[in-house]
Structure 1
Amino acid sequence: MDMTIIFDPRDPAIRTDPYPIYRRLMETDPIHRSHFGYWVLSRYDDVDAVLRAPGVSSEFYRNTTWADRRGGLDSPLVRSVRSWMLMLDGPAHRRIRSVISKVFTRASVERLRPRIAAETHRLLDAVGDGETDLIDSLALPLPVTVTCELLGFPTHDRDQCRRWTEHISRVIDPSITIEDTADMNTAEVEFREYVTDQLEQRRAAPRDDILSLLLHTEVDGVRLTDHEIIANVLFLFVAGHETTVNLIGNGLLALLRHPDQLRMLRENPKMITDSMDEITRYDPPVQIVSRLLTDNVALQDVTLPEGAKVMLLFGAASRDPARYADPDRLDLTRTGIRTLAFSGGPHYCIGAALGKLETAMVLTELLRRYSKIELAGENLAWRPNVSFRGLQELPLRLTR
Structure 2
Amino acid sequence: MTALFDPRDPAVRTDPYPIYRRLREADPVHQSHFGYWVLSRYADVDAVLRAPGVSSEFYRNQVWAERRGGLDSPLVRSVRNWMLMLDGPAHRRIRGVLGKVFTRGAVERLRPRVTAEADRLLDAMGDGEADLIESLALPLPVTVTCELLGLPTDNRVQCRQWTEQISRVIDPSITAADVAEMNRAETEFREYVTGELDRRRAAPTDDILSLLLHTEVDGVRLTDHEIIANVLFLFVAGHETTVNLVGNGVLALLRHPDQLQLLRENPELMPGAVEEITRYDAPVQIVSRLLDEEVVLDDAVLPAGAKVMLLFGAANRDPARYSHPESLDVTRTGIKTLAFSGGPHYCLGAALGKMETAVVLTKLLRRYGKMELSGEELRWRSNVSFRGLERLPLRLLR
Q: TM-score, normalised by structure 1?
A: 0.99
Picking from 114, 117, 120, the partner of 2:118 is 120
Match of 1:72 in 2: 70
Are 2:240 and 1:237 aligned? Answer: no
Tell me if 1:313 matches 2:311: yes
How big is each residue's C-alpha offset from its partner over 1:204-234, in whole Å with a ceiling of 9 and x where there is no partner? 1111211111111000111000000000000
Give the letter for the 1:88 counterpart: L
Residue 61 of structure 1: aligned partner? 59
| 1:161-202 CA distance string (max 9 Å, x none) | 000000000000000000000000000000000000001111
Structure 1 stretches of 4+ moved >4 Å? none
Shift in Å, 1:271: 1.4
Counterpart Cα distance in 2 of 1:378 and 1:289: 31
Residue correspondence of structure 1 range 23-62 to structure 2 within 5 A: 23-62=21-60
Residue 73 of structure 1 aligns to a residue in which SS?
coil
SS in structure 1 of the partner of residue 38 of structure 2: strand
The equivalent residue for 1:373 is 371
Q: What does residue 17 of structure 1 align with?
A: 15
Q: Kindly provide the amino acid, as one letter, of the partner of residue 356 in structure 2.
A: E
Residue 325 of structure 1 corresponds to: 323
Offset, 1:273: 1.9
The residue aligned with 1:151 is 149
- Are 1:297 and 2:295 counterparts? yes
Kindly state the Cα deviation for residue 143 of structure 1 after the two structures are TM-superposed: 0.2
> What is the alpha-carbon distance in structure 1 between the residues aligned to residue 218 and residue 156 of structure 2?
34
Amino acid at match of 2:183: N
Q: Which residue of 1 aligns with 2:390?
A: 392
Matched AA of 2:195 = D
Render the CA deviation track for 1:61-83: whole Å, top value 9, x for unaligned: 00011000000011000000000
Counterparts in 2 of 1:195-206, with a 5 A limit? Answer: 195-206=193-204
CA distance in 1, matches of 2:205, 2:10: 46
* C-alpha separation in 2, matches of 1:319 and 1:50: 17
Which residue does the alignment assign to 2:215?
Answer: 217
Name the structure 2 match of 1:8.
6
Deviation at residue 378 of structure 1 after TM alignment: 5.2
Secondary structure of 2:304's counterpart equals coil
1-side partners of 2:375 and 2:174: how far apart?
29
Distance in 2 separating the partners of 1:266 and 1:392: 26
The one-letter amino acid of 1:58's match is: S
SS of the residue corresponding to residue 144 of structure 2 reads helix
Query: Does 2:273 align with 1:275?
Result: yes
C-alpha distance in 2 between matches for 1:165 and 1:44 = 29
* Structure 1 residues 82-93: aligned runs within 5 Å: 82-93=80-91
CA contact (8 A) 2:241 2:353 kept: yes
> In 2, Cα distance between the equivalents of 1:74 and 1:152?
29
Gaps of 5+ in 2: none
Partners in 2 of 1:178 and 1:301 — Cα distance?
38
Q: 2:191 & 2:358 partners in 1: Cα distance?
A: 34
Select 1:132's aligned residue among 130, 136, 141: 130
Q: CA deviation at 1:274?
A: 2.5
Letter in 2 for 1:30: P
Does the alignment pair 1:341 with 2:336?
A: no
User: Which ranges in structure 1 are unaligned for 5 or more consecutive residues?
Assistant: none
Q: Deviations over 1:93-118 (max 9, x none)?
A: 00000000000000000010111011
Distance 1:93 1:101 in 2: 11
Contact 2:272 2:333 in 1 (8 A): no
Query: Helix, strand or coil: the match of 2:69?
Result: coil
TM superposition shift of 1:278: 0.7
* Greater displacement, 264-273 / 317-326: 264-273
* Residues 314-355 of structure 1, C-alpha deviations (whole Å, 9 max, x = no match): 000000011101100001111111100000000000000000
Query: Between the two proteins, what is the percent identity of the paired residues?
Result: 79
Question: 2:112 and 2:334 mapped to 1: Cα distance?
Answer: 30
TM-score, normalization by structure 2: 0.99
**AA in 1 matched with 2:124:** A
